[in-house]
Amino acid sequence: MLDICDRLPEGLLDLESDQLYKIFERPTLIHLQGDRQPPLFVSILLHGNETTSWLAMRELLRKYQNPIQNQSLPRSLSIFIGNISAARYRLRHLPNQPDYNRIWQTGDSPEHHMAQQVINEMRSRGVFASIDVHNNTGRNPHYGCITHLEKDFRKLARLFSKTVVYYTSPKTVQSFAFGHFCPSIVVECGQPDLPEGTAHALAYVETCLNLESFANLPDSAIADINLFHTVAIVKVPEEINFSFDGNPHDDITFPNGMDCLNFCELPIGANFGKAKTDRAYLSAMSEDGEEKSDRFFQIENGEIKLKVAAMPSMLTLDTDIVRQDCLCYLMQRM
């Protein structure tokens, strides 16, 4: 279920992300030649509702595919356009699909086989670096996520932002898979369709295309990184009802505007919502897959409170995203 081509189809750069299905029937990997090898790999639209990735790449390609300017790409570029069918409806993924950023380990579905084909294809080309472009549904600053702490990974991250998150779970994501054979990063570019997110992603990819090598970046370039480590993924168990609007019938009611807490270092005792009963708990899964809810949360006088100081990221007020993915991640400063 993967198409591979070495040129841009006619009319592609005139389309919005929800129109790509008119040209591409399935996920597509496009190889474009540039002045340097090996190629930079960029994955876009792994989530169909995260449009910044396409908007940024469209602008980049318009620049380098313009016959009047006659500019060649400074480095070869491989672009993986992921969930085109979900992008048609601006959904994270369709109801009958897996999450396209949870398929990058071996599995039996057609999507797993497709992801392995992308991995094999790019590994054979000796990738320079991998960039996976995403958006958040909640309010977050722009930041990078890396799966390894080697200097090249941190240098790749610092080119995007001083704020860097180190994580080792889930291991089924694209950046984790590519991190085994090249520096890789997830760049989180704020909420979809905002011009500042598009501009930031565009400038970052172009910077990486023009980078001759990571060795050319001095170690001092990463001295000012604010590095955080993901310590738990927080989810609402399926049997727990919840809302953000104070519905008294729900098991848990979260504060309205809770996403303003993203990237705020919260103290012990910080309020994470109201619980109707002591059984209205949050799941907090550690990176090694162990349930650690009792380590991070307690219910006191009907309020869910943090038991340790932590910093949330990717808090969202979108109930569908909470069910499909998670409520947030908890991080601590390294």
Q: Do 23 and 82 fall within a single domain?
A: yes
Q: Do 203 and 249 fall within a single domain?
A: no
Mind listing the pLDDT tens digit for each residue in 124-137?
999 999 999 999 98
DSSP letter string over 261-282?
GTT--BPTT-EEEEESSTT---
Beta bridge partners of 285: 233, 291
Q: Do 48 and 194 fall within a single domain?
A: yes
Mind listing the pLDDT tens digit for each residue in 268-321?
999 999 999 888 889 999 988 899 999 999 999 999 999 999 999 999 999 999
Q: Do 62 and 208 fall within a single domain?
A: yes
Q: Do 273 and 129 fall within a single domain?
A: no
Q: List helix spans (H) across the chain.
A: 52-64, 84-87, 110-123, 151-158, 174-178, 195-210, 293-296, 319-324
- Strands laid side by side in the 297-300 sheet: 242-243, 252-253, 271-275, 303-306, 297-300
Question: In which band, very low, low, confident or very high, does the pLDDT at 67 lie, cut at 50, 70 and 90?
Answer: low
Q: Do 177 and 275 fall within a single domain?
A: no
Which of 180, 196, 224 is the last residue before a domain boundary? 224
pLDDT score recorded for residue 288: 87
Q: Do 18 and 128 fall within a single domain?
A: yes
Mind listing the pLDDT tens digit for each residue in 102-122?
999 989 999 999 999 999 999
Residues 6+ apart with CB under 8 A from 34: 72, 73, 74, 75, 76, 77, 209
pLDDT score recorded for residue 209: 98
Which of 203, 224, 245 is the last residue before a domain boundary? 224
The token pair at 285 is 């899964």
Given a cut of 90, is residue 154 above it in pLDDT?
Answer: yes
Given a cut of 80, is residue 66 above it in pLDDT?
Answer: no
What spatial distance separates the first Cα and last Cα of the chain, rounded to whole Å? 41
Mind listing the pLDDT tens digit for each residue in 216-272?
999 999 999 999 999 999 999 999 999 997 788 899 999 888 999 999 999 999 999
**Number of structural domains found in the chain:** 2
pLDDT score recorded for residue 70: 73
Q: Do 242 and 97 fall within a single domain?
A: no
Given a cut of 90, is residue 78 above it in pLDDT?
Answer: yes
Mind listing the pLDDT tens digit for each residue in 18-47?
999 999 999 999 999 999 999 999 999 999
Report the predicted TM-score, pTM, of the whole model to 2 decimal places.
0.92
Backbone conformation region of residue 190, classed left if phi is above 0, alpha if psi is from -120 to 50, else beta: left
pLDDT score recorded for residue 106: 86
CA torsion sign, 266 to 267 to 268 to 271?
A: negative
How wide is the angle at C-alpha 33 spanned by C-alphas 30 and 37, nearest 5°? 110
Which range is least confidently modeled, 54-58, 66-70, 329-333?
66-70
The token pair at 303 is 């309020």
Q: Do 197 and 305 fall within a single domain?
A: no
The C-alpha atoms of residue 86 and residue 21 are separated, in whole angstroms, by: 9
Q: Do 22 and 160 fall within a single domain?
A: yes
Backbone angles phi, psi at 175, to 5 degrees: -65, -30
pLDDT score recorded for residue 256: 87
Question: Would you call 268 exposed, middle or buried from its count of C-beta atoms within 10 A (0-12, 13-18, 19+)?
Answer: exposed
Residue 90: domain span? 3-224
Average the pLDDT over 174-180 and give the result: 98
Q: Do 106 and 140 fall within a single domain?
A: yes
Residues 6+ apart with CB under 8 A from 171: 105
Task: Residue 163: name the closest of 189, 131, 138 by CA.
Answer: 189
CATH (domain of 146) = 3.40.630.10
DSSP secondary structure code for residue 110 in this structure: H
Which of 192, 224, 256 is the last residue before a domain boundary? 224
Q: Do 241 and 207 fall within a single domain?
A: no
